[in-house]
Chains A and B, each alone.
Chain A
Amino acid sequence: MPAKKRNSSFFTFINLFPQILQQTLILPALALVLALLISAVLLMITGYDPLTSYSSMWEGVFGSVRVFTEVLLKSTPLILVGTGIAVAFRCGVWNIGGEGQFYAGAVLATWVGVHLSGLPPVLTIAAVFAAGVLGGGFWAVIPGWLKVKLKVNEVVSTIMLNYIMIGLTSFLVTGPMQEAKKLFPQTDEIVQAARLPNILPPTRLNIGFLVAVVTAIIIAIILFRTPLGYAIRTVGQNPETARYAGMKVNQSIIIAMLLSGGAAGLAGAIEVSGLTWRMFATISPGYGFDGIAVALLASNNPLGTILSGFLFGALRASSELMQMNAKIPSVLFKVIQGLTIAFVIAFSLLSRKTADEREAEKSEALTASEI
């Protein structure tokens, strides 16, 4: 037999750590470092000083309490959307509709937030959140249902539903839901009781970030520690085996989409009730799409999205500052983001492969030893 080519001992080393740590921390961190190194070369070629650039980037994240809270605010929707996308991906459904689901949640949450009065803040906020979850969930169940019943490819339908929802929002904020003054294409402000409490005045940081983190943890528990999550993951990995095991494949897909869209919708609700207090046509700078990157970077592990969401939130926030201070085009963050994802995917494959080879060897040795 030809000698097996050994993978580098580097990944053997990485495999000493538990898989969850690898997925959520080690591999993304490695990928980020490499991405930053390559971007540094790009910066040098284009005539910028990488050190200055990166130090201003650092400043933009950790420079002061205020900028740090801004990063957390930016991370909040990314964590939530990313968590949702991770659930769908784990179930084998390619939900590209995070953007539309975010908008759907935001619209419904705004409507409730504007019209619901007379309730104590706790209940009002709960109602606003519920509206967000319902709106996003509903918008995700549509492509799920189409996939299950009519075998419509969910990539196409979720993308199309993005455009429909974004268009619908533009219509709503210039028509039925436009503010009473009819001046700008936006809704009225939501009632005072619907606004999320601030946790660190004078910054804008509100409880939304905590809600996002808790949601990610809850969804991770559902996914990895409940029968429902087991069914969702099995359906995603091998639908035939899932059917064989008596699982309800279609039902699992619908529930996964409900969770997926629900999380994105909740992000929309938090954006409205925590920051903007009203709805307008361009409320999302693409959180729904960045959420896909967040999920991928975290190997579709909801716990990992907390970190990867923070990372992309930080890149986004700091690149804006970088553009102002160091005159570096803020699209650099897209380059870093893309490179990081490419590396993390390559790394996970390599580390998985190394782990598999070791396990297979060990198991093979066991088989051989007792014959």
Chain B
Amino acid sequence: MEMDKRLQLINISKTFPGGVQANKDVSLDVKRGEIHCLLGENGAGKSTLMSILYGEYHPDSGEIWLNGEKISIPTPKIAIEHGVGMVHQHFMLVPTLSVAENIIMGMKPLASFLWDMKEIEKDIARFAVERGMKINPSALISSLSVGEQQRVEIIKALYRGVDLLILDEPTAVLTPQETHDLFETLHKLAEQDFSIILITHKMNEVMEVADRVSVLRDGRVIGTLPIANVTPAILARMMVGRDVSFNLEKSERAYGEPVLRVQALNLIGDKNRQILKDIALEVCSGEIVGIAGVDGNGQNQLALCITGLMKPTSGHILFDRKEMAGKSPLEFLKTGVGHIPEDRHAMGLVMEDSVADNFMLQRYNDKFFKKLGFLNMTAIMEYAKKLVKFFDVRTNSVKTAAGNLSGGNQQKIIVGREIDRNPKLLVAVQPTRGLDIGATEYIHKQLLQQREKGAALLLISTELEEILALSDRILVMFGGRIVGETSAGRANVDKIGLLMAGMQAEKE
């Protein structure tokens, strides 16, 4: 029985500095010759768990058993020595070198100091064919398609003697045909007794390729089931959860006039990929419209378009009936658009700058902060002190660099700053990502208060519970489209979950 299991993870826990608990008592086993899917939303802890297994992170507690032996994996090098290999979402290949050179990179020469490239290429070609893959070892990486590059990554891992292969969101970058080829390859490898762990958030892939599936949510394993025992509906429920834990006081309120009106919005990205397709939506004053959806289905780009940071390819963005499409971010700011951006590190804060500087970020040119054309440092400090107090930002002083605060307090700076600008429309993207309960609750209250004051709010979140708790109306996005709409009162979690996963709702 035990020999049947190649890998066993027992009670793995991992907390990051800053308090985010990515894995909580995760136990998991993977059999020989099994394709095991890890399914979960972004931030559910799948990647962290696999990075622990691959030696990139170290668990705070828990055990890793491989082939019946308890081991510790301090580095990826040790992981490979134990036969654990990983193919990352972003390939680790040198584009200017050949396939063979990339595969042997970092390995010791077999017999002599000099490589016999011809011999190695022959060996690699034979090795690949034996495992059901075709590759030209002398081709340059830069000349290969994305799917072929991924194959090189897989061969690279196997060539190092790996028998447990982790693939992190392998289909995110692939075309449907390439995905099909990949799955075929994985099946062949499984037949040859290799074990495969596949990280994904796409349910249809799980149904197509997995032998067993483990669903992760909030860092915990919700359940591990053989594929024969599950349906997409079961998986959806496990993924998004049912229990609405937020209990917020929300008044009944009649909406006012529409503040934002988006019509026929299209965005075409690199390589002609349609990122947004025919988006139409309306947000009224005093209303919170929630956009639910799995990460990467165009919600973030939609937010960037509505705040002027990205120019849509076609369509209308009407703000108080004024056409805004194609205008600069500054003009959006001036018309009263507030924006809580998705990633406070990449956008929204200057981490090296002081709390005070971050509070006046968009208003650095305001009369209020200027005296004779120079920055009025006294006014800036006073303003920051007022906001720190009002929005309960826990900081040593307003001169402290924003990067030294905890995530929750950083987010409070952004939320406070945006709210204090009295926006007519507030676009909040993942406003509570990575925050603890206290900070989350605080920010939710602030958002509801804006609604009371008559602001229009567009809330974009991958956390369904958050959407359900705050929104008056819910839109679901998948593949760049709005695929469903429901009022908050009649929201059906199962149905929304299915829509989020790309399963079309039955026509009503």
Contact = CB atoms under 8 A, between A and B. Distances in A.
Tell me whether A and B are bound partners: yes
B357 A356 contact: no
B341 interface: yes
B434 to A, nearest CB: 15
Given A244-B348, A362-B396, A230 B357 contact: yes
A351 B114 CA distance: 47
B482 interface: no
Contacts of B390: none
B347 A237 contact: no
Contacts of B377: 225
A9 interface: no
Contacts of B297: none
Given A227-B375, A234-B350, A360 B404 contact: yes
B330 interface: yes
A89 to B, nearest CB: 14
Contact of B401 (A226, A229, A359): A359
B403 interface: yes
Please indicate which of the listed interface residues A221, A230, A237, A366 has the most CB atoms of chain B within 10 Å of its own CB: A230
Given A244-B309, A244-B341, A364-B406, A230 B394 contact: no
Given A366-B395, A370-B394, A225 B406 contact: no
Contacts of B406: 363-364, 367
Query: Contact residue range for chain A?
Result: 20 to 34
A362 B341 CA distance: 27
B361 A241 contact: yes
Contacts of B400: 359, 362-363
B339 interface: yes
A246 B353 contact: no
B234 to A, nearest CB: 38
Given A245-B364, A363-B396, A371-B438, A356 B346 contact: no
Given A241-B361, A364-B406, A370-B394, A225 B374 contact: yes
B394 A245 contact: no
Given A356-B403, A363-B404, A246 B328 contact: yes
A191 B353 CA distance: 48
A130 B369 CA distance: 32
Contacts of A367: 394, 406, 408-409
Contacts of B349: 238, 241
A234 B358 CA distance: 10
A238 B345 CA distance: 9
Interface in B78-100: none
Query: Contact residue range for chain B?
Result: 35 or more
A229 B364 CA distance: 10
Interface in A325-371: 356, 359-360, 362-364, 366-367, 370-371
Nearest to A356: B404
A247 B330 CA distance: 7
B405 interface: yes
Nearest to A229: B375
B245 to A, nearest CB: 19
B284 to A, nearest CB: 25
A227 B365 contact: yes
A182 interface: no
Contacts of A225: 374-375, 377
Nearest to A240: B347
B315 interface: no
Interface string B361-384: 110110001100111010000000
B450 to A, nearest CB: 19
A246 B394 contact: no
B409 A227 contact: no
A360 B18 CA distance: 11
B375 A359 contact: no
A243 B357 contact: no
Contacts of B357: 230
Contact of B329 (A221, A227, A229, A246): A246
B401 A227 contact: no
B318 interface: no
Interface string B390-424: 00001110001101111011000000000000000
Nearest to B439: A367
Given A363-B405, A363-B409, 5 more contacts: A225-B377, A230-B375, A241-B348, A243-B309, A246-B332
Interface of B: 307, 309, 328-330, 332-334, 339, 341, 346-353, 357, 361-362, 364-365, 369-370, 373-375, 377, 394-396, 400-401, 403-406, 408-409, 438
27 contacts: A225-B377, A226-B373, A226-B375, A230-B357, A230-B375, A234-B350, A237-B352, A238-B350, A240-B346, A240-B347, A241-B347, A241-B349, A243-B329, A244-B329, A244-B347, A244-B348, A245-B362, A245-B364, A356-B401, A356-B404, A360-B405, A362-B400, A363-B394, A363-B396, A363-B405, A366-B394, A370-B394
